[in-house]
Amino acid sequence: MKIAVCVKHVPDATVHKRIDPATKRLERSGEAALNPTDLNAVEEALRVKEAQGGEVVLVSLGPEKAADSLRKALAMGADRAVLVTDEAAAGSDLLGTSRALAAALERESADLVLFGQASSDGDGAVLWAAVADRLRRPLVSQVAALTVDAGSVTGKRQTEHGYDVISAPLPAVIAVSDAINEPRYPSLKGIMGAKTKPQESLALADLGVAPDDAGDAAARTTVLDLGPPPSRGDQIKIEDDGNAAQKILDLVLERRLL
């Protein structure tokens, strides 16, 4: 069985996120890492492979330095990685991103495609739906437990009313939640082995995607303006110099809140 996992190179959780006022895009020059919920997708792919055999291939769209994040997933146990990296893809919105990823996935002809539920930088939780639509494959999202049988996949997904259990024929697209598993830590052997695993870089042209079908040229969403959040009105900032508790009490009494 071939399992493809779509992963994303995102700003590290410790990095202060800001929007570049010139490009109106998220500033991405700082430290970056693999998207947290994508680690759950990688882990689930590895468990399916361990149970049924096959291959786990990583698929990503991003800058060349995204290869650094892919190596962590390779160290976990993935077999190889495919990175779609092209200057023409910069600024891709949902449509351009899904088009490029779907083209890469069609090239792989995977039996099962896994996504993390959402990326930490966009938090849209819709990319997997757009890719599944382009591939014309069944989709199950928010999966907290996954069972793969011969020719079908069953996902248990949590909803506000309980659990749904949904089965679909393979090939299929599955978006997993962070409740599905606990991602493994790469071993020293895995880290060393990741350096020699195949990592392929592809341009949009390699996938048959025209330059004007991705990036800014294909974007159907536009950020018109940026501005600070609205004022919260009259505010008082209390610095804790050892007497903060007394200052708060005095303020409460002054405003007759007690």
The pLDDT-based confidence of 6 (bands split at 50, 70, 90) is very high
Question: pLDDT, tens digit, for every residue of 37-59?
Answer: 999 999 999 999 999 999 999 99
pLDDT at position 255? 81
In a domain, 252, yes or no: no
- Is 211 a member of any domain? yes
In a domain, 123, yes or no: yes
Whether 228 is in a domain gets the answer: no
pLDDT of residue 75: 96
User: Would 256 be classed as within a structural domain?
Assistant: no
**Within-domain flag for 237:** no
C-alpha pair distances (Å), 157 with each of 19, 130, 149, 180: 34, 19, 17, 10
The number of folded domains in the chain is 1
Q: Cis (ω within 30 of 0) for the bond into 171? A: yes
Provide the CB-side half-sphere exposure for 218 (13 A, CA). 19
pLDDT number for residue 86: 93
Instruction: Kindly report the pTM of this predicted structure.
Output: 0.84
How is residue 211 written in tokens?
């330059």
Of 40, 36, 77, nearest to 55 (Cα)? 77
d(CA 87, CA 184): 33
Residue 232 covered by a domain: no
Q: pLDDT over 70 for what percent of the chain? A: 100
What is the mean predicted confidence (pLDDT) over 113-124? 88
Residue 197 has pLDDT above 90, yes or no: yes
- Number of Cβ within 10 Å of residue 74's Cβ equals 26
Which domain, by its residues, includes 44?
2-218
Question: Average pLDDT, stretch 142-147?
Answer: 95
The CATH number assigned to the domain holding 43 equals 3.40.50.620
